[in-house]
Chains A and B, each alone.
Chain A
Amino acid sequence: MLGEAEPQWLSEEVKTGTTIIAIEFNGGVVLGSDSRVSAGESVVNRVMNKLSPLHDKIYCALSGSAADAQTIAEMVNYQLDVHSMEIGEDPQVRSAATLVKNISYKYKEELSAHLIVAGWDRKEGGQVFATLKGLLTRQPFAVGGSGSSYVYGFVDAEYRKGMGKKECQQFVINTLSLAMNRDGSSGGVAYLVTIDEHGTEENVILGNDLPTFFDQ
């Protein structure tokens, strides 16, 4: 043990090993994420908010390498600011997603981060876009991160079109809770962002307020 004065995780890259989810409902979107940031086996930050604002009514959810994801979000935030000043109005969600996609695609070999972009604009209402590895696709809902594999079945079975706002929020909380219970790299608290034409609402659901399921 004398040989190694520093644990391996200090030099390991910090990953967000995450569960992120975004769902479109009638009139807006709900984004949700867990809050665990890990480096190897150690939890570096147990309260990180992975839902990053790109614009007033457009948010993105971060997963993968923490540094890469944070940097992409900041770059797109800046580019969107410039773009929205140029067009003189609030940007479309599709524009934000395209900016993220451009970076993800151009640097796909160097970067290892996946961002889900979701928001509300006047033209198309609530929209969710996935930008994995540089593709751009609009979906009614999207899940991402290491915890998502455990909940694909749940979201596929339980999602219904035309859910209301409260129902959607509960759906997101349930999904996050299930994923956080099964995935070692997800945990902590749940962050929720609800965007509709009236505004943006940020919520935190603390660990002991999360819903419990049969084995807890």
Chain B
Amino acid sequence: MALSTILETPGAGFNFDNAERNAALEGLFEGGQTPKPLKTGTTIAGVVFKDGVVLGADTRATSSDVVADKMCAKIHYISPNIYCCGAGTAADTEKTTDLLSSNLSIFSLNSGRNPRMVMAVNILQDMLYRYHGQIGANLILGGVDCTGNHLYTVGPYGSVNKVPYLAMGSGDLAALGILEDGFKHDLELEKAKELVQAAIHAGIMSDLGSGNNIDICVITKEGVDYIRPYQESEYKDDRKMKYKYRPGTTAVLTEKVVPLNLEVVQETVQKMETV
């Protein structure tokens, strides 16, 4: 049931090529562990308010016990009116949201309109269901379209939930507590931003996998306000040394210049049709 305007035509059934490759790789490592995929160990949250949707996320990406990226961007662009927060395996969320974004651009160019939230959700659900949970992406989609302000979540197995407020990721239980307590329908913009910021903050404080700064993305009919970072961590480190080397630190021993002699062999001029 793929739309004719979408570039990617999904093959029938499941495509487990990479699962076979992974199994083969595991054999090569001889009993040792294959390198673990980078998980974002995250807190992401979303709230529908009076004029639109507010999405929030922390900015820590962990690789086992080490923080791999302190300023990771977890709020991904899907279309001018839809943004998506991703939790789970970092590569999966990046790739899935990129794929969704390009498919929706093609649709927009073909039809001349901004895509609707339900379209984005359906494409995601289709794709994730086909891969039966092998793609570890937990996504929160928020956006404003001609039918209103919407917030959806799609799980890795392809289940969809439409809700007015939501938190996902390893820090979600802490964030959800704040949201359950503070959420009301038709909040004002400032209150909604505060609520999301408090929710992410709770996740950062109570979860080891979340931390550093807080990003906020406000989507309304008028446009998008992507505030990155909305709030910086109080625990910014203060580097005492410079880790960059001055030019000249490495001595130049010899220098040889070889000029490339190029001849013009053929010249063609093609007129471009302009309106």
Chain A positions near chain B (C-beta within 8 angstroms): 1-3, 5-7, 10-11, 13-14, 37, 39, 42, 44-45, 47-48, 65-67, 70-71, 78
Q: How far is the CB of B198 from chain A (nearest CB, A)?
A: 21
In-complex Cβ contact of B65 among A2, A47, A66, A70 (8 A):
A2
In the complex, which residues of chain B have a beta carbon less than 8 angstroms from the beta carbon of A3?
64-65
Q: How far is the CB of B1 from chain A (nearest CB, A)?
A: 7
In-complex Cβ contact of A10 among B1, B138, B158 (8 A):
B138
Given contacts A5-B39, A37-B161, A66-B157, list 6 more A-B pairs with CB under 8 A: A5-B62, A6-B169, A10-B170, A14-B157, A42-B173, A67-B128
CA distance A13 to B41 in the complex (A): 18
In-complex Cβ contact of B209 among A6, A44, A78 (8 A):
A6
- Whether B86 sits at the interface, judged by CB under 8 Å, is no
CA distance A14 to B155 in the complex (A): 8
- Whether B87 sits at the interface, judged by CB under 8 Å, is yes
In the complex, which residues of chain A have a beta carbon less than 8 angstroms from the beta carbon of B160?
70
Q: How far is the CB of A13 from chain B (nearest CB, A)?
A: 5
Which residue, A6, A14, A71, has most C-beta atoms of chain B within 10 A? Answer: A6
In-complex Cβ contact of A6 among B1, B161, B170, B173 (8 A):
B170
CA distance A67 to B88 in the complex (A): 18
- Whether B203 sits at the interface, judged by CB under 8 Å, is no
In the complex, which residues of chain A have a beta carbon less than 8 angstroms from the beta carbon of B1?
78
In the complex, which residues of chain A have a beta carbon less than 8 angstroms from the beta carbon of B142?
none
Q: How far is the CB of A83 from chain B (nearest CB, A)?
A: 16
CA distance A71 to B64 in the complex (A): 34
Q: How far is the CB of B156 from chain A (nearest CB, A)?
A: 7
Chain B, range 202-236, C-beta contacts under 8 Å to A: 208-209
In-complex Cβ contact of B170 among A7, A45, A65 (8 A):
A7
